Structure 1
Amino acid sequence: MLPAFEIVARHRPIALVGRPGAALVAPFAAVEADLDLTGAGEGAGAELALTHPDGTRLAVRLDGQRASLRVGERPLRSRRHGRTRATPSRLGLTLTGSHLAVLTREDGAWVVRGRVDLREVGGPDTRAAGWAGGLRGSGSGAVTGVRTGPFGQLGLRDVRLVSHADGTPYRRGGEVLLTATSAGPGFFDTAHTSLWALTADDRVEHRADLFFGRPDRPGVYGDHATHLLRDGDRWLVATSTWSDFPADRHARVPGVLRVTLAESSADLTSGQHVLPTRELALPAPECTPSVGTWDPHLVRDPATGEWLVGYVSARRFFDFHPALASGPTLDDLTLRGAATDRRATEGTTLLRDGATWRVLASDGRDNRRATRARFPVFDTSLREVGTLRAPYPTNIPWPSVVPPDPAVPGDEWRWVTFNGRPAGGTLAGYGTHGDVVVMRQQR
């Protein structure tokens, strides 16, 4: 079906402040500054803060090699991680959802030295609509070059092509647009959706950030694992509600993770946007009741007008498999197939092979030996019909393949995915993955 692929590039676009000076539309903010500790007197410190007209003050202080957070007048310090190992060159404060974190730049890398969930210490309701717009950043003490703006990312994962409704890539000039999850300094509830361009020479460049309202509760959320789709003169945005995923990841409560759908006529390919959503109801196999669905991918068959929706369904956390639904509209979907023999397969992606639709996925290493660390190809009943030939990075990298551009003679197949490499040190942990991995067809 497709050629063999090989890795040609890797990228890690880390940035605390993603858009310096830009207004805040969601509770994803950062302040960072250079440290000038050489001329500071004994005991002199450095401080960064986010303040709000309602009296909220969120701050970080560095005294010598000890970093601490402050919520109002309350100091909070990690005894295990709060001391730097090397003299830091920069200091950072991030707000990602409800999480406040302090980071120091040591030996050329950002390290998380403390983190707190503001909900657990009597902090403000950071997700309240419009609240983040009142935040202002500042610095004092041994800091220079203070920068404030929306939070950027420590890593990128869940990379998916932006597409037209017929499944073809959405291109601008020589660029292919991608959605990704911008990882924050912690687990999945510190991340948000971002938009990137894959250039003709295999670089990635930041373009936009998307945030979401919920149909069943107030507030602004950084939901992610998103597919952005151009349908006529509107955008459809299907995303997964990871932004408030329970701390108890072994919960068996149905519906704690689901897919929502937004519609917009705005230009979502630049700037920042907060989008209202409704639920996209996705069916689960009767034999395997679902506690959650995620990783949506939508196409509308140009021959029949039928919608096809690929996604992941979980029996429990984390035991999950790919599924496919179809219907005349996105509000009238029925199950078409599910690969229930899998237990760690996700990244469900639809690709047209001539007149035939194929379903691509990624078999994680927690599957059984025969279906581990590989990229299966299914038909629309979710019966495996082949595999893709490509290196398999760490974690569960998605099969986001880029067909050749018919307008560019000699253009090649490409593939843009990610791995599980974390950043930010041990306190930040697993959720900070990963590198962007770019592949091209083998010659």
Structure 2
Amino acid sequence: MLPSFAIAARHRPITLVATEGFPLLAPFGAVEGALEGDQPAELALQAADGTRLAVRLEDDRTSLLVRTGGAEHALRSRRHGRLAKPATRLGLTLTGSHLAVLSLEDDAWVARGRIDLREIGGPDTRDPGWLAGLRPEASGVSEVRAGSFGQLGLRDIRLVSHADGAPYRIGSEVLFTATSAGPGFFDTAHTSVWALSPAGEITWRSDLFFERPDRPGVHGDHATHLVRDGDGWLVATSTWSDFPARRSERVPGALGVTLAESAEDLTRGQHVLPTRRLELPSDGPSVGMWDPHLVRTPGGWLVGYVSARRFFDFHPLLAAGPSLDHLALQGAATDRRATEGTTLLRVGEDWRVLASDGRDNRRAVRGRYPVFDTSMTEIGTLTAPYPSNIPWPTVVPPDPDVPGDEWRLVTFDGRRSGGRLAGYGTHGDVVVMREA
């Protein structure tokens, strides 16, 4: 009963400064300015405790200048620190615990240096008190912009929905959450909310940040589902914001799903949400769970998600229960080893579970969108182009109030930005599809 899809549009909304103004609510900020000739340029974030996080461009070389705890650190990337082409703007980003310097070359931002501040005894950037005292500085530049960090790419696209699974619409637009990629691995990203117009255009609306139940500070957790439940919101998200890039630092069980509740309008502005752990059943040993998707049916809740036997060997699961605190496993696609983006979709009178089979699966289930029933038995596939990486099958049903409205699918790919230093975590393009 689902149609075939064809690509109709692609978008890449790269923005260093999403909204201007301080103080920051979360450790996701940026400063940028236009370069003036060949004179040295410097951008900085100055904290009330004396910490100063600065980036500098001089003689086509970029550097990071960090003053923290009474010590001065001058850091420069030998491989990436020199400009490849003349730059028109200089940028500083703070994303989680990472400080980066970027240059705008041929209208593309390129990361020229990056440091995890924890490696040099830096401040706790997730501390709200420390963030409240942070202010921007700039010299040798013009047209300065400073405020919250935007993104180098978008991934993990998920429709904002009502609790019954119907898309949440504002006028003719549907909303979706996305992971706003930073200039690095998963711990430089955060959750954002966007609008998709009938013409296929996308517009930023809000950012969501999270407080954890087991540790202090404000986190940029992502891979999020935003659910309108009555007069309030439920927010289920994956605790990716401190997931380490180094394999040796990955701790089994640290990656999981949290749940927040809010009566605020989360579709506008910026918000910090307290959370609790959402306990999800496993089909066996699990080192981590992510990609939650929630639907409330007349019989109770359905929750789709992903579980990993090890990093990274993962597959989709479905749980059900009378409440989100009492869930039991319904099924798991245990024959997969690189399948995620678990998504619940009502097709006629039935619930279906969609997912994305990455190319690291065995040949028979590789590079496709499987369709499962609620026992997680595969019953078909979704016919649509399969971009790079592991694109989620985020299907938008026709609006019943709009005659002739078509099915759509909005997903992402693995195209990186920000240059070689920024690396894998910067994907991807937003890919909008329509009925073929």
TM-score bin (small chain): over 0.9
**Preserved CA contact (<8 Å) 2:23 2:133:** no
Q: Distance in 1 between matches of 2:391 and 2:133?
A: 38
Match of 2:289 in 1: 293
Residues 242-262 of structure 1, C-alpha deviations (whole Å, 9 max, x = no match): 000023336674312100000
Classify the secondary structure of the residue corresponding to 2:425: helix
Task: Name whichever structure is richer in strand by fraction.
Answer: 2
Match of 2:142 in 1: 144
Q: Distance in 1 between matches of 2:133 and 2:32?
A: 18
Match of 2:268 in 1: 270
1:135 offset after TM fit, Å?
1.3
**Preserved CA contact (<8 Å) 2:7 2:431:** yes
Match of 2:33 in 1: 33
Structure 2 counterpart of 1:375, from 369, 377, 381? 369
Q: Distance in 2 between matches of 1:430 and 1:329?
A: 37
Alignment: residue pair count: 432
Q: Distance in 2 between matches of 1:373 and 1:250?
A: 29
Classify the secondary structure of the residue corresponding to 2:267: coil
Q: Distance in 2 between matches of 1:284 and 1:292?
A: 10
Classify the secondary structure of the residue corresponding to 1:427: helix
Query: Aligned ranges for residues 176-325 of structure 1 at < 5 Å?
Result: 176-249=174-247, 253-286=251-284, 289-301=285-297, 303-304=298-299, 306-325=300-319
- Provide the alpha-carbon RMSD of the alignment: 1.0
Match of 1:82 in 2: 81
Match of 2:420 in 1: 426
Q: Distance in 1 between matches of 2:269 and 2:221?
A: 17
Residues 303-341 of structure 1, C-alpha deviations (whole Å, 9 max, x = no match): 32x100000000001100000001001001111100000
1:126–1:252 distance in 2 versus 1, CA, 3 Å: closer
Match of 1:47 in 2: 42
Match of 1:384 in 2: 378
Q: Distance in 1 between matches of 2:136 and 2:85?
A: 26
Match of 1:346 in 2: 340
**One-letter amino acid matched to 1:330:** L
**Preserved CA contact (<8 Å) 1:251 1:316:** no
Classify the secondary structure of the residue corresponding to 1:370: helix
**One-letter amino acid matched to 1:403:** P
Residue ranges of structure 1 left out of the alignment (5+ in a row): none
Q: Distance in 2 between matches of 1:252 and 1:119?
A: 16
Give the TM-score normalised by structure 2: 0.98
Q: Distance in 2 between matches of 1:181 and 1:114?
A: 22
Larger mean CA deviation between 246-255 and 80-89 belongs to 246-255
**Preserved CA contact (<8 Å) 2:185 2:245:** no
Indicate whether 1:396 and 2:395 are aligned: no
Indicate whether 1:102 and 2:104 are aligned: no
Structure 2 counterpart of 1:61, from 56, 69, 81? 56
Query: Aligned ranges for residues 127-138 of structure 1 at < 5 Å?
Result: 127-138=126-137
Classify the secondary structure of the residue corresponding to 2:214: coil
**Preserved CA contact (<8 Å) 1:25 1:130:** no
Residues 362-400 of structure 1, C-alpha deviations (whole Å, 9 max, x = no match): 000000000000000000110000000000000000000
Query: Aligned ranges for residues 397-416 of structure 1 at < 5 Å?
Result: 397-416=391-410
Q: Distance in 2 between matches of 1:252 and 1:24?
A: 29
Q: Distance in 2 between matches of 1:51 and 1:89?
A: 24
**Preserved CA contact (<8 Å) 1:252 1:316:** no
Residue ranges of structure 2 left out of the alignment (5+ in a row): none
Classify the secondary structure of the residue corresponding to 1:130: helix
1:23 offset after TM fit, Å?
4.0
Match of 2:158 in 1: 160
